[in-house]
Structure 1
Amino acid sequence: MRAALRIAAAVTGAVLAGTGVAVALAATGDGSPGDANIAFVGRWDRTNSSAYVPNWAGAYLRTGFTGTTVKLKQRGTIDVYFSIDGGAVQYTQNVSGTVNLTPTKLAAGNHTLMVSYRVVAGSYTGDAVFQGLVLDSGAKTLPANVSPKLVEFVGDSITVGTTSSKNALTAYGWLTGEQLGVRHTQIGYGGGCLVATADGCVSVAAQFLKTGYSSTSANWDFSRYTADAVVINLGTNDKSHGVSSADFQAGYVAFIKTVRGKYPNAAILALETFSKRYAAETQAAVATQNTAGDRNVYYVNTEGWLPSDGLSDSVHPNDKGHQAITAKLAPIVAARLTPTTSPSASTSPSSSTSPSATTPPPAGRCSVAYKITNSWQGGFQGDVTITNQASSAVNGWALRWAFAGGQTVTQAWNATTTQSGTAVTASNATWNATIPAGGTAAFGFTGTWTSINPAPTDFTLNGTRCAAV
């Protein structure tokens, strides 16, 4: 047997976690499922050390390898997506056994590989069981180059990518993760609901705790990975199954608490469903958690995200629709992965309105740092930090500026924005209304631009001009 496939026989007596079964450990570089150089992203069932099974959509593996060929060992017939050296994703159907992914040999040297299996509405098409890689004689795998950050996308068939050209790989979750350069996975089920119903609608919220979408799936071991952000898109199917507004809102609050219990530091983003179903209830659930002290939960308004030709039917986005969603969502997720403010229980939001009376800083005793942190064709992300340089606190604030390039603010966090023509006003949120002496308040936003995108240089805080820095 080729060296690249040998299991390290010298290492014995290891116990497979949770089973009590002694197994041989894989040698790093040998291409077997237990090879430490292979990064398995998403929820993979590793109960069988010689055959790893991906569960949920969007699970994939990445690794590097040497040599000129790479082959995939498959137990049964399956449809496979793969990419070599970061190239275009290729698709091969109804393959099994030892599948040659390089019928034309590669140039000798180091290469990279990504493999994912085709899913339909959450269930895999065929026998999705990874049994290892076959490499050239003397070749080996290399450590996978993956980000330490991970984003989990939770939803139904829309999140799975149903009706898009490559299913999960052309869905907004996969596209957003790839655009941001982070690990990503989709926990989605076609036809799934937030709330389990008497007529059989599966609760994705309940299955979130499981290794897979099957009702018999084992509980997921959350020590396998920790998500830095969780994007939830649920509610599209609940309406047709008769879930009441009260039950949906209560279910959403409970699900946010579940996610928070598993990922204490993750940003949780609750998307308004693209069909606008349960929008008010979703927003109210987020507000409930904010009021309870969890500032790292956000409601994301998706109004206008989908173009008129962005659907393949009345519900599911097509490729263009998923790309449009990604253009809006990616900068919002990016901002949560690198927050401009640190959530603090001592400054938790409340349900009260912003103070009606505002205290202006003394003239010349405030400064504003406006930074464009990300930019793409037609859009950008901005971060703004206000510094109170006075000896007394500012209680309630409204920052104003004018755009010089016809830009438009489309979404904001940690502030409420309004715009009239070129003039923009950003007002404090309930939890950052006070800027202590020498302290700062920060917020972020996304916007659109056309031909130019210059940064504004003239800012006023509660009517007092601030220095631009």
Structure 2
Amino acid sequence: MLSISSLAVSGLALLSQASATILQNGQVRLTSFLNTQVNQSAYSFTTYSANASEISYQGRWDSKFVSWWSAPGIKFAYTGQTVAVTFGELTSPRVLIGYRIGGLDWQFTNVTAGATHLLVSPSTPGSSQTGPISPWTFELRVTNWAFGIQIGSVHVAAGEKLIKLPDLSRRIEVIGDSLAAGMYTSYEGLSSWAYGLGAGLGNTDYSITAYPGILHQWFYTSDTSYRASVAYGDNPEAWDFSKRPAADIVVINIGTNDQNSANNVSAPAYADALTKIIQGVHGKWPNAQVIVMSLWLGFYQSGNSYFPNAPQGFVKEVQDMVRMFNSEQYLDNPVVYDGVTKKSSQTGKRTKAFVHLFNTSGIMQHNDIGPQWHPTDVGAIKVASHLQQFIKLTFGWELQATGPEIFHETLYWNDEPGY
């Protein structure tokens, strides 16, 4: 939730992410992550290199097949009953990944740099089932927004094969800070509202370029983390937007901490930065629709009730900026921005408005914000659900999720009807 103008983040806050405790109303949640590391020499595998065309990379990965940002992953179909992954030496220590087969629930394991992890075997629950998803599909996502993995190779049983999955028919991109990255939710990236939005829409490929602190970094492969500064110094890889199809919808939620006087970000500076991000999206994906979310803060108790902290965050500036983008004057002479070259230029005339305001007021209440000022798991679910309905009503996108789990370990209920 750092400032929109922040381009560097202290590494100190990133050290405990992979081993954090999950709390439920202050009580420690019991977790039992599987130990999946194996001795590769004890198995007979068919092996695919990281650059195999059958592997679909989701989110942003650099030229060394290292993942960045929030909830990046890989997907593919496979034959047989075995999937293993060897993780490269640039994998963060003990990073937590979520993975699943077909439409079954997420499983989690901590993975190790240079090690091979057997993630699917004949003993994996459900792996012997047939249909309705055929052939079996495999999906892996990095949960920790601060850490990443490097894919070394992917293995299936000897004589079996990987099968490339087609791109889905819809694409959505979320640009955000720690609120979208999943900071302080149970499974971070896989408990964030941004992931819930993309996965919950169904039949939608999604990418979450969210991290505490972002501006021109959206134009690059890596985020603004300490590990990125170690990997690239002052010369990060520019993101090749041709690697993936253009997003149909881009959701932007960024700048919550900019309104904090301690960060000394003026309203004009915030508006200019957000304008440049939208102009950058317009330049890279001319046909994309952009949703700008209003900002929210926490709540405070006053007397016998709770109220949202004020101000709620550059309300007038955001509204004025949306009106500007949708004005005839701008649509007749639109501007695009390139965050790599830092240059702006005019482009062809647009025929209709493409920037939309999503008002978050009233969605969350005080107990939907955790002690560290970020949405709880339930708060994230509420934001994702409201956004899905906004997208359905605004763009006609039907909700096409068919039943597979989205948010893991949110099955809370009372089993005594009369207590």
Q: Distance between the aligned counterparts of 2:141 and 2:167, measured in 1? A: 15
What CA deviation, in whole Å up to 9, does each residue of 1:333-359 have, x standing for no partner? 3445548xxxxxxxxxxxxxxxxxxxx
What CA deviation, in whole Å up to 9, does each residue of 1:200-219 have, x standing for no partner? xxxx1210111111453211
Letter in 2 for 1:262: K
Task: Determine if the alignment matches structure 1 residue 161 to structure 2 residue 161.
Answer: no
Residue number in structure 2 paired with 1:12: none
Residue number in structure 1 paired with 2:380: 322
> Where in structure 2 are the equivalents of 1:58-457 lying within 5 Å?
58-76=71-89, 77=93, 78-96=95-113, 97-102=115-120, 104-105=123-124, 106-107=127-128, 110-120=135-145, 123-124=146-147, 128-181=149-202, 182-190=204-212, 192=213, 204-214=214-224, 216-225=235-244, 226-240=246-260, 241-275=263-297, 276-291=312-327, 292-293=330-331, 295-313=353-371, 315-335=373-393, 337-338=395-396
Q: Distance between the aligned counterparts of 1:94 and 1:255, measured in 2? A: 35
Task: Evaluate the alpha carbon distance shift between residue 64 and residue 312 of structure 1 in structure 2; reply closer, same or farther with a 3 A threshold.
Answer: same
What CA deviation, in whole Å up to 9, does each residue of 1:83-135 have, x standing for no partner? 11221111112434110113525328731111112324xx21xx510112111
Instruction: Return the offset for 1:43.
Output: 1.1
TM-score by length of 1: 0.60
Q: Distance between the aligned counterparts of 1:131 and 1:336, measured in 2? A: 42
What CA deviation, in whole Å up to 9, does each residue of 1:265-306 have, x standing for no partner? 001000001222112211111111111126010111111111
Write 1 or 2 for the structure with the bigger share of helix: 2
Q: Distance between the aligned counterparts of 1:230 and 1:62, measured in 2? A: 22
TM-score by length of 2: 0.67
8 Å CA contact retained: 2:45, 2:155 = no
Question: 3-state SS of the aligned residue for 2:362?
Answer: coil
Deviates more, 1:108-117 or 1:170-179: 108-117
8 Å CA contact retained: 1:79, 1:118 = yes
Q: Distance between the aligned counterparts of 1:208 and 1:337, measured in 2? A: 25
Q: After the TM superposition, which segments of 4 or more aligned residues of structure 1 sit over 3 Å from their partners?
A: 334-339, 373-376
Task: Evaluate the alpha carbon distance shift between residue 374 and residue 79 of structure 1 in structure 2; reply closer, same or farther with a 3 A threshold.
Answer: closer
8 Å CA contact retained: 2:248, 2:288 = yes
Q: Distance between the aligned counterparts of 2:256 and 2:358, measured in 1? A: 15
Question: 3-state SS of the aligned residue for 2:220?
Answer: coil
Q: Distance between the aligned counterparts of 1:336 and 1:95, measured in 2? A: 44
Q: Distance between the aligned counterparts of 2:394 and 2:82, measured in 1? A: 40
Residue number in structure 1 paired with 2:46: 4
Instruction: Return the offset for 1:308.
Output: 3.0
Task: Evaluate the alpha carbon distance shift between residue 219 and residue 303 of structure 1 in structure 2; reply closer, same or farther with a 3 A threshold.
Answer: same
Q: Distance between the aligned counterparts of 1:82 and 1:145, measured in 2? A: 19
Q: Distance between the aligned counterparts of 1:251 and 1:325, measured in 2? A: 24
Letter in 2 for 1:280: K
8 Å CA contact retained: 1:159, 1:171 = yes
> Structure 1: where are the runs of 5+ without partners?
6-30, 193-203, 340-372, 377-469
Task: Evaluate the alpha carbon distance shift between residue 297 and residue 337 of structure 1 in structure 2; reply closer, same or farther with a 3 A threshold.
Answer: same
8 Å CA contact retained: 2:143, 2:188 = yes
Letter in 1 for 2:379: G
Q: Distance between the aligned counterparts of 1:284 and 1:142, measured in 2? A: 48
Residue number in structure 1 paired with 2:417: none
Q: Distance between the aligned counterparts of 2:45 and 2:276, measured in 1? A: 51
8 Å CA contact retained: 1:68, 1:108 = no
Letter in 2 for 1:166: Y
8 Å CA contact retained: 1:80, 1:115 = yes
Question: 3-state SS of the aligned residue for 1:284?
Answer: helix
What CA deviation, in whole Å up to 9, does each residue of 1:58-104 have, x standing for no partner? 21111111111111111244322111122111111243411011352
CA RMSD of aligned residues (A): 2.3
Task: Evaluate the alpha carbon distance shift between residue 336 and residue 144 of structure 1 in structure 2; reply closer, same or farther with a 3 A threshold.
Answer: farther
Q: Distance between the aligned counterparts of 2:380 and 2:58, measured in 1? A: 21
Q: Distance between the aligned counterparts of 1:157 and 1:147, measured in 2? A: 27
Letter in 2 for 1:284: D
> Structure 2: where are the runs of 5+ without partners?
1-40, 225-233, 298-311, 332-351, 402-419
Q: Distance between the aligned counterparts of 1:261 and 1:144, measured in 2? A: 28
Question: 3-state SS of the aligned residue for 1:83?
Answer: strand
Q: Distance between the aligned counterparts of 2:76 and 2:188, measured in 1? A: 22
Task: Evaluate the alpha carbon distance shift between residue 59 and residue 161 of structure 1 in structure 2; reply closer, same or farther with a 3 A threshold.
Answer: same
**What is the number of equivalent residue pairs in this alignment?**
298
8 Å CA contact retained: 1:67, 1:108 = no
